[in-house]
């Protein structure tokens, strides 16, 4: 039959299924029935991206069938094959969309994930640009055996690759007891091949969110996915015709397909790879997509990978726990002179994990002592904050909190594999030495599990923390001589530039001024470049001649100027992976802030996804601003428009996270007490601005006395 004919047959089969499902949906619900996907501002994303059409009703979906059919050209040319493959992917999205027209949660009660929300897409932004997620694999199965399926999935997971599962391989993974879900980056998407539409939807939304690609610009979407999204497909034999057609679409997007099916297939270098030994697929796949994995060898008995960062360890699965809210615990990084340190010394003072009863809550402290000619005390908290990421990458270990409010859980499975206290030291040593190698020459780790000693050690640590806090309080935008750029996200948003200052951290929430300073010291030619601040044009809005020159240079001429403290006048751009989005609410003369985790509506009549779609991709959008959570209580937050006193609405969970610091800043700026209680949340109102205004009036919110916005 031939490869071309298999693609066309598969496209025809997928289209016939889509056409039948859509027509049945119209007959059932009517052409005017709404057609939406949950928690997205991008409609049916594949149709929106490739055809430029916003599908809002079932009738509009039906009308688009003709456009999809036109893409499936039956001509024996390579271009026709690829076009037909993309049409197949769109048809797959249409099939899945029919399910969501009938129910907002069609996969509820199953193990399948289905649709990815915009928040999930944005959550991938930072790990993608930092290469903690070096790529994606779509595995279509079943594999030759459940054991091989588990081994391959775990192999990808240990390399940080995000794994999407489709078909019978999901049942194999369940059979082998693998943990699955978005947080651990192994997602069972769906049982049928058309669930691949959800993966393509994620890809094209990433292109719109981070790349600011215009809907309908077919070539731009293909170029972006080819150059910036590192994905590939593993398709186990026997591969049916529909899967072959989907593979043609994947290849058009730049995603190689690796298969062991030899039925009417021929190899295409770097695109269609026929490799019969499926146990070698990991290396073959990574090589095909030019994915380079940086491996840090750590002497521990369990896997180490960023894929385990979202792992949750329940109480029933816990072997041991350190909880700083109940017993004395802390984590600390201290600078020492070189002669005071024995490199790679892991010193345990007290009983090890196997000397405690299962389920015990123990006192646990750890001090990483570092020395180096270029080491600075300002780097200590930067390294310290990384401990959270380091330990969460350990399979079977969960870490939350920081300083003396940490909690660490070790699972029974990790304990049974041999994981002990010294292995925490091994992780800290290996990661600190590898990630901070230009400033750290020697590192030793001290761990103590003796409750009596840890009480005194905790008191010592708190003295260090208090001294740091005083130092941080003195770090203001006025007190430092330089700011820094952060262009890390340009891997996905080529024109976006963050200007990081002591009082305005990066919008992703992950890069403070001290982080940027350390990054510049570690990598002088890297993403954090020094920005001098000698020539202030307008202090009120935070406009600097030097900053404008920097953004012009590092945005490659796309941006001409930005302000640091205004949401109206040339606001800073966003890449798409911001923690929060802020928007003007004209009825109350204030601003509404929501965060990625909040799925509900806001008084702007928009969800996070809809607000966030107003900015991103390195474009300036006056009236909207992406930012980090900690910027909310900064005294420079919207300083030009009156400051944080403009905040009238926050999601309740976010408000509780920033309450204390927000109250402290508001007291200093406006002389008000308990400012957080003056801010409404979803328990007061969601969309009703009249209720919002009444609440602000009842609580005498300071925004009521501020000048009206000058739009």
Cα gap 411→417, rounded to integer Å: 10
Closest CA to 319 of 288, 346, 285, 356: 356
Whether residues 458 and 494 share a domain: the answer is: no
pLDDT of residue 243: 97
Please classify residue 546 by burial: count the beta carbons closer than 10 Å to its beta carbon, then call 0-12 exposed, 13-18 middle and 19+ buried.
middle
Is the pLDDT reported for residue 77 higher than 90? Answer: no
Domain containing residue 589: CATH number: 3.40.1470.10
Report residue 711's pLDDT band, with 50, 70 and 90 as the boundaries. Answer: low
C-alpha closest to that of 496 among 558, 422, 445: 558
- 252 upstream amide cis, omega within 30 of 0: no
Tell whether the model's pLDDT for residue 296 goes beyond 80.
Answer: no
Say what the pLDDT of residue 1 is: 58
Range of the domain at 229: 3-288
**pLDDT per position as a tens digit, 317-348:** 999 999 999 999 999 999 999 999 999 999 99
pTM of the full structure? 0.93
In this structure, the number of other CB atoms found within 10 A of the CB of residue 369 comes to 19
Structural domain includes residue 711? no
Does 409 share its domain with 533? no
Helix%, strand%, coil% for the chain, nearest 5:
45, 15, 40
Counting residues of the chain whose pLDDT is more than 70, the rounded percentage is 100
Mean pLDDT (whole number) for 70-89: 89
Strands, E assignment, 76-185: 136-141, 162-167
User: pLDDT by residue (tens digit) across 197-210?
Assistant: 999 999 999 999 99
Q: Is the pLDDT of residue 542 over 70?
A: yes
In 3D space, the residue among 213, 13, 209, 216 whose CA is nearest the CA of residue 126 turns out to be 209
In a shared domain, residues 248 and 310:
no
Of 91, 117, 282, 266, the closest CA to residue 192 belongs to 91
User: Is 13 part of a structural domain of the chain?
Assistant: yes
Q: Are strands 536-538 and 231-235 parallel, antiparallel or unpaired?
A: unpaired
Question: What gap in Å lies between CA 428 and CA 410, rounded to an integer?
Answer: 16
**pLDDT tens sequence across 36-54:** 999 999 999 999 999 999 9
Q: Are residues 644 and 694 in the same domain?
A: yes
Tell me if 472 is assigned to some domain: no
**Quick one: pLDDT at residue 253?**
97
Sheet holding 329-335, edge to edge: 329-335, 364-371, 442-448, 346-349
Tell me which of 424, 440, 465 is where a domain ends: 465
In a domain, 298, yes or no: no
DSSP 8-class letter at 259: E
Q: What region does 587 belong to: left with phi over 0, alpha with psi -120 to 50, or beta? A: alpha
| 310 and 271 assigned to the same domain | no
Domain boundary (465, 494, 512) is at 465
Q: How far apart are CA 282 and CA 224, in angstroms?
A: 24
Q: Are residues 571 and 460 in the same domain?
A: no
pLDDT at 423: 98
Tell me if 295 is assigned to some domain. Answer: no
Region 108-137: mean pLDDT is: 95
Residue 178: CB atoms within 10 Å: 20
476 belongs to a structural domain: no
Same domain assignment for residues 661 and 692: yes
| 320 & 210 share domain | no
The answer on 343 and 280 residing in a single domain is: no
Instruction: Reply yes or no on whether the pLDDT at 159 is more than 90.
Output: yes
> Does residue 238 lie within any of the structural domains?
yes
Mean pLDDT computed over 642-661: 97
d(CA 62, CA 66): 8
Question: What integer pLDDT is reported at residue 76 of this predicted model?
Answer: 75
Q: Note whether 164 and 207 are same-domain residues.
A: yes
Q: Indicate the Cα dihedral angle 594, 597, 602, 605, nearest 10°.
A: 110
- Distance (Å) of CA 436 to CA 241, 269, 518: 50, 39, 9
User: What is 393-420 written as a DSSP string?
Assistant: TBTTEEEE--TTS-EEEEEHHHHHTT--
pLDDT number for residue 525: 93
Question: Do 411 and 450 lie in a common domain?
Answer: yes
How many CA atoms, within 13 angstroms, populate the side-chain half-sphere of residue 137?
Answer: 29
Mean pLDDT of 246-274: 94
228: left (phi over 0), alpha (psi -120 to 50) or beta: alpha
Q: Do residues 445 and 436 make contact, with C-beta atoms less than 8 angstroms apart? A: no
For 456-521, the DSSP string reads HHHHHHHHHHHHHHHHHHH--TTT-SEEEEE-GGGGT-TT--EEEBTTB--TTSS--HHHHHHHHH
Q: Measured between alpha carbons, how far is 464 from 336 in angstroms, rounded to an integer?
A: 14
pLDDT tier, 266 (very low <50, low <70, confident <90, very high otherwise): confident
User: How many domains does the structure of the chain reveal?
Assistant: 3
Q: Give the residue from 437, 465, 493 where a domain finishes.
A: 465
Alpha-helix runs per DSSP H in 297-411: 379-392
Residues 393 and 283 in one domain: no
193 found inside a domain: yes
CATH number at residue 180: 3.40.50.2030
Answer whether 201's CB lies under 8 Å from 118's CB: no
> What CA–CA distances, in Å, run from 344 to 338, 366, 680?
13, 14, 52
Give the whole-angstrom CA distance, residue 535 versus residue 321.
Answer: 53
Which CATH number covers residue 315? 3.30.1650.10
Q: Cis peptide before 238, with omega less than 30 degrees from 0?
A: yes
371 in helix, strand or coil?
strand
């Amino acid at each position: 039959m031939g490869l071309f004919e298999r693609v066309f047959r598969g496209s025809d089969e997928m289209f016939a299924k889509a056409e039948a499902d859509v027509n049945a949906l119209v007959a059932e619900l009517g052409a005017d029935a709404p057609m939406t996907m949950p928690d997205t501002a991008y409609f049916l994303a594949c149709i929106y991206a490739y055809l430029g059409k916003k599908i809002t009703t079932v009738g509009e979906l039906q009308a688009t069938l003709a456009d999809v059919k036109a893409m499936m050209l039956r001509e024996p040319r390579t271009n026709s094959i690829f076009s037909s493959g993309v049409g197949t992917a769109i048809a797959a999205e249409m099939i899945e969309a029919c399910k969501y027209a009938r129910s907002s949660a069609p996969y509820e009660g199953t193990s399948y994930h289905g649709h990815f929300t915009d928040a999930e897409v944005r959550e991938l932004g930072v790990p993608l640009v930092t290469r903690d997620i070096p790529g994606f694999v779509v595995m279509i199965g079943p594999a030759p055996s459940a054991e091989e399926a588990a081994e391959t999935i775990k192999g990808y997971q240990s390399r940080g690759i995000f794994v999407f599962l489709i078909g019978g391989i999901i049942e194999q993974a369940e059979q082998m007891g693998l943990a699955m879900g978005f947080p651990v980056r192994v997602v069972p998407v769906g049982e049928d091949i058309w669930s691949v539409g959800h993966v393509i939807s994620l890809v094209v939304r990433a292109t719109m969110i981070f790349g600011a690609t215009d809907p309908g610009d077919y070539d731009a979407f293909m170029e972006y996915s080819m150059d910036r999204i590192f994905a590939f497909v593993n398709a186990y034999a026997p591969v049916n015709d529909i899967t072959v057609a989907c593979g043609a679409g994947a290849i058009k997007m730049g995603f190689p397909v690796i298969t062991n099916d030899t039925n009417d297939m021929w190899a295409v270098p770097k695109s269609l790879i026929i490799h019969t030994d499926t146990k070698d697929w990991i290396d073959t796949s990574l090589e095909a997509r030019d994915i380079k994995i940086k491996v840090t060898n750590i002497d521990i008995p369990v896997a180490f990978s960023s894929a385990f960062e979202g792992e949750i360890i329940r109480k029933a699965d816990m072997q041991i726990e350190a909880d700083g809210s109940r017993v004395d615990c802390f984590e600390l990084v201290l600078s020492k002179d070189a002669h005071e340190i024995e490199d790679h010394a892991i010193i345990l003072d007290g009983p090890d994990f196997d000397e405690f009863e299962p389920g015990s809550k123990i006192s646990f402290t750890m001090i990483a002592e570092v020395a180096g000619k270029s080491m600075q005390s300002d780097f200590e908290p930067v390294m310290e904050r990384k401990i959270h990421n380091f330990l969460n990458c350990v399979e079977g270990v969960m870490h939350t909190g920081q300083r003396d409010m940490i909690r660490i859980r070790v699972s029974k499975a990790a304990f049974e594999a041999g994981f002990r206290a010294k292995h925490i030291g091994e992780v800290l040593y290996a990661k600190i030495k590898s990630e901070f190698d230009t400033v750290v020459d020697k590192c030793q780790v001290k761990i103590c599990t003796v409750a009596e000693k840890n009480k005194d050690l905790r008191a010592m640590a708190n003295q260090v923390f208090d001294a740091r806090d005083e130092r941080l309080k003195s770090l203001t935008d006025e007190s430092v001589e330089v700011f820094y750029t952060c262009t890390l996200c340009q891997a996905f948003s080529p024109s976006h530039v963050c200007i990081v200052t002591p009082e305005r951290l990066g919008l992703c929430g992950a890069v403070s001024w001290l982080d940027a300073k350390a990054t510049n010291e570690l990598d002088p030619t890297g993403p954090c470049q020094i920005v001098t601040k000698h020539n202030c044009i307008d202090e009120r809005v935070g406009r600097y001649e030097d900053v404008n020159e920097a953004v012009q240079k590092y945005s490659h001429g796309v941006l001409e100027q930005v302000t640091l403290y205004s949401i109206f006048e040339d606001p800073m751009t966003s890449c798409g992976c911001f923690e929060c989005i802020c928007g003007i609410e004209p009825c109350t003369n204030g601003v509404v802030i929501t965060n990625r985790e909040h799925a509900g509506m806001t008084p702007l009549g928009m969800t996070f996804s809809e607000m966030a779609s107003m900015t991103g991709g390195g474009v300036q959008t006056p009236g909207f601003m992406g930012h980090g959570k900690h910027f909310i209580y900064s005294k420079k937050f919207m300083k030009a428009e009156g400051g944080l006193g403009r905040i009238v609405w926050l999601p309740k969970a976010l408000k509780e996270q920033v309450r204390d610091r927000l109250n402290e800043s508001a007291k200093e700026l406006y002389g008000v007490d308990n400012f957080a209680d003056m801010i409404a949340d979803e328990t007061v109102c969601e969309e009703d601005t009249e209720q919002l205004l009444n609440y602000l009036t009842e609580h005498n919110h300071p925004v009521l006395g501020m000048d009206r916005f000058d739009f």
